[in-house]
Structures are given as structure tokens and as C-alpha cells.
Amino acid sequence: MINFSRFRLDNGLTVLVHEDHTTAMAAVNILYKVGARDESPEQTGFAHLFEHLMFGGSVNIPNYDAPLQSVGGENNAFTSNDITNYYITLPSNNLETAFWLESDRMLSLAFSDQSLEVQRQVVCEEFKQRYLNQPYGDVWLKLRPLAYKVHPYRWATIGKELKHIEDAKMEDVKAFFHKYYTPQNAIMVVAGDVNLEEVKVLADKWFGSIPAGNSFVRDIPQEPKQAEARKEWVEADVPVDALYIAFHGPDRLSADYYATDLITDLLSRGASSRLYRALVKENQLFSEINAYMMGSIDTNLIVVEGKPLPHISLEEAEKYIWKELENIKTHAVEEVELQKVKNKIQSTMLFAELSILDKAMNLAFFEMLNKAEDYNHETSKYEAVTSSDITRLANQIFTEENSNTLYYQSKQKENVE
């Protein structure tokens, strides 16, 4: 249970405050409601590029890191398809430094040609290193557009192609900033050795005068129900074959999200999970196997991925995976097995509450989803899932017509054979 207070500035900035006086530290987390799904298909990768630009300095503070480091603080950020999140941790007696830094770049980001060019090169290099030149790095550049035909989840956070970042113009960057990086499109969580009244004073002092920005209506095309199986073969210079099967599933706010999450845990969380036990440990068909859900706000993907051992072809590997999926569809999960994965989720969530930064991030995310109070009821929603829920959803999700299969074939294996 995370206790917190909420207030909102006149410009629309939502502020949550969680007091924890067992620590001498504070965390300031700012979530902007913008991710790769908000991009134009012709200009992808902008949300991630902007994450980098936000560290390029503001009008008044050319070096963002220096003043923070001088007061013992650390910072970082991440971008997903749904959000962009920035965070600072620092000694609580230097809390105002975080407000100063974050408010200044929200109001006065320095749009210099040099900063754009430097960060463009950084992002382009990341694109090459992580997605183009790394084994299996381009999987999501292929699997996303295979599974999504309409929704902007069809491109990865890094973008659809390198050229979109290479061609980014200053006017495009400024337009993106002024639309999405506004108080009314942000949620700030302050957690740790702080008090509500102090945060109210600081929030008003540093953020209160920032213009709210223009309101806009988010119009994201939703993915239609998939009606037939999709398959794609890829040959690449990778050590071994790999197989990826993606299924569409419930969105993050669906009541069925929790049962679906538990299905992936039943399949592959830990050495006693179904896929690991059957395909890796007992029958020695795969070197590794995993199942997970993306956790996206809109229609999710449930992914089963694995690397079959050299004597198993990709077609055979696919059949073995489907056999295990059919098993969870046709045989009710016993209560002991189900409770085991529920306990693991509960322990994970309890562990997250030990960190003020994790608490700040979780409160911000759930406030963005609907309201932060929902986070305190997450474990009860998982606990309420029944064996019949698992069977029902497994039968809905694991169908041939709902599958998107990427066969990632090793050229090295082909040469050996």
C-alpha cells in the first residue's frame, strides 16, 4: 500500500506526493503522456529522440548533469510506445535543485542546431548498434509490423527506419515539444523524505508559471481483430535459429489483463514453468524459451519466443510450442500451480515498494492509466483470477488465426548443414 496526496496546478500539472521519512533521499519523477504511438508514420522515432534532446541543455542551464551531480543527484529517462519518463534521485535536502532543473527544461529547452545534430547522431548510432548490427536486434522491426497493420504499435520506439531520424528538422522537433511537453500533459511524483506543504510551495514556485499548452484530442487508430495467421521467414547471420510467435491480447485497462499476465507466468516464469520444464529441461528441445506480455496501454501482444537446439528445425519447434499452448487451453490449471505464480507477482510488487523511485514511477504510470489509487489494488486483481479465467483466455488468445510467427533462421546453421 502506497499512501500519497494529489494536487493540481492551474496550468494542469498533476502532482502526487508520497512521504517516506525512513530515508534521507527523494525521487522526482515526471511522466509525459507521449510515446512512439503518438508519432506520425512518416516521422517515427521522435519520442525517443526527444528523450535524448531533453538532456541537451535548456536556455538557462546548458549542462543539465553538472548542477545535479554537484548536489549528489542522479538522473535518467526511458521511452516506450506509450510514455516518456524522466527521473531524478537526490538527497532530500537538495530537493529544490530537481524542481529547478525539470521546470527549466519544460519551459525553456534549448533548441540549438548543435544539440539536435549531436543527439541525432547518438540515436542513429544506437539504432545501428542495437537494432541493425546486433544478433536478433531487428526482431521487433519485423515482428511489430507483422502483428500490427493499423495501430502505431507497428513500429518500435527507436522508429521504423533510420532515415526518419536522419531527416528530422528543427521545426518538426519544436512542434513535437510544444504539443506534448506541457504541464497539462505531464504527471509529477515526488517521493521520499519530503512533505506535502513543501512540495506544494516548490511546485508553484518552479512550475506554476509555465503555460499549460494547447489541448489536443489523441486519435489513435485501433487494431482490428486479426482474422488469419501471418508468417514471415528471415535469414540472418546469427548463431542459432530463433522462433517468435505473437498473439493479440487484452489492453492494459481490461479486466482480462491480469489473467493473461498470469498465463505467461505459468508458461515461462522460473525453472518449474510449463514451457521451460517441457521443452528445455525434460525433452531438451530448446536452449531457451520465454513467454511474456508487452504491457501496452492498447491492444497487447503476448509473445512466445525460443531458440531450438540444433537438431530441431523451426517447423518442429513451432509444433512443440503449440502442443504446450493446446495443453493450457484444454486442461484446467490446478489451484496450487496458479497460486504459485500469484505469490511471485505479489512478492515482486512488495519488493518494488522498498524503492522510493519504483514507488514514484508506479504512481505516475497508474495516474496516467486512470488513477494512482489503482496501484494499491493490483495484487487483489491478480488474486481474483480463477482457473476458469485462465482456460477461457488461453482459448481466446492461442488460436492459429490470432498468431503472427517470425521464423528467424541462422545462415550459420545452414552453412554447417
pLDDT tens per residue, range 394-412: 999 999 999 999 999 998 7
Phi, psi of 321 (to 5 degrees): -65, -45
pLDDT at 414 over 60: no
pLDDT averaged over the chain? 94
Q: How far apart are CA 304 and CA 244, in angstroms?
A: 6
Distance of CA 282 to the CA centre of its chain: 33
Average pLDDT estimate for 211-227: 93
3-state secondary structure of 321: helix
Helix (H) or strand (E) holding 186: strand 186-192
How would DSSP label each residue in 38-72?
A: GSBTTBTTHHHHHHHHTTS-BSS-S-SHHHHHHTT
- The two most distant CA atoms of the chain are separated, in Å, by 70
CATH architecture of residue range(s) 230-410: 2-Layer Sandwich (3.30)
Round the CA-based radius of gyration of the chain to a whole number and report it: 23
The yes-or-no answer to whether 5-208 and 230-410 have a common fold is: yes
Angle between helices 257-268 and 387-397 (to 10 degrees): 90
Q: Are strands 242-249 and 74-79 parallel, antiparallel or unpaired?
A: unpaired
The reported pLDDT for the residue numbered 230 is 98
Comparing CA positions, the residue from 2, 6, 3 lying closest to residue 199 is 6
Residues facing 404 on adjacent strands: 230, 246
Structural domain spans, the chain: 5-208, 230-410
Sign of CA pseudo-dihedral 24, 97, 53, 48: positive
Tell me the C-alpha distance between 226 and 206, whole Å.
48
Superfamily for the 5-208 domain: Metalloenzyme, LuxS/M16 peptidase-like (3.30.830.10)
pLDDT at 388: 97
The whole-number pLDDT of residue 413 equals 62
Output the pLDDT for position 391.
Answer: 97
Q: Choosing from 51, 102, 318, 367, which is the catalytic residue?
A: 51
- Burial class from Cβ neighbours inside 10 Å (0-12, 13-18, 19+) for residue 236 reads middle
51 is catalytic: yes
Whether the Cβ atoms of residue 303 and residue 397 lie closer than 8 Å to each other = no
pLDDT at position 399 is 98
pTM of the model: 0.94
pLDDT at 149: 97
> Cβ(117)–Cβ(385) under 8 Å?
no
